[in-house]
Amino acid sequence: MSLLHNMSSPPRTSFEVKGTPVSVHVTVFSLTYALAKSGSLKTLIPGGKITAAHSGDHLLVRDMILKHISDPKALFSKIGDPVYPDWHVDFLVGWRASEGPFSYRFEICTDPRLSAGVLSKCAGTLYLSKREPELTWDQLLALPLAFDENLIKLS
């Protein structure tokens, strides 16, 4: 989101910033959600009971992952290497989608390898295509990241 302020306006000028998307196409990336929805957690966590309700509970799924999977390398040895998108952009500005379940207007990535690839190239809420991937739990299990960009198509 960009914000411009005209410094020549009177100091009594006010504005309100709302967290509504600019585009009608919003895409959310969350490794926890993608692992739960893809069914990968059922094979990764022995005896773990993963229900549809769990898939939208970021903190619950994150805690399950941290308890049962030692590090990201162990995860990728079982699901495959992260997939990095072929978007022709230098960067995208996103925001942390801290609440779930997500709105019907959002398209949610259910591919854990793509979600990991996107999240690993983010610095805060910025997706930086030329950034070296950071494959740490802190990076990969951060809150879901949403982009309101028509360029991103998952299907």
Please give the pLDDT value at position 136: 96
The answer to the question of residue 116 being in a domain is yes
Please give the pLDDT value at position 114: 96
Element (H, E) at 53: helix 52-55
Please give the pLDDT value at position 50: 61
Element (H, E) at 26: strand 26-29
User: For the chain, what's the residue count?
Assistant: 155
pLDDT in tens, 114-153: 999 999 999 999 999 999 999 999 999 999 999 888 778 7
Please give the pLDDT value at position 37: 84
Give the C-alpha separation, 116 to 94, whole Å.
16
142-143-148-153 Cα dihedral, nearest 10 degrees: 60
Please give the pLDDT value at position 123: 94
Please give the pLDDT value at position 127: 94
116 within 8 A of 140, measured Cβ to Cβ:
yes
The answer to the question of residue 12 being in a domain is no
The answer to the question of residue 8 being in a domain is no
Please give the pLDDT value at position 8: 67
Rounded to two decimals, what is the model's pTM?
A: 0.78
The answer to the question of residue 154 being in a domain is no
Residues of the chain with pLDDT under 50: 101, 104
Q: How many domains does the chain have?
A: 1
Please give the pLDDT value at position 63: 86
The answer to the question of residue 102 being in a domain is yes
Domain that holds residue 47: 26-147
The answer to the question of residue 15 being in a domain is no
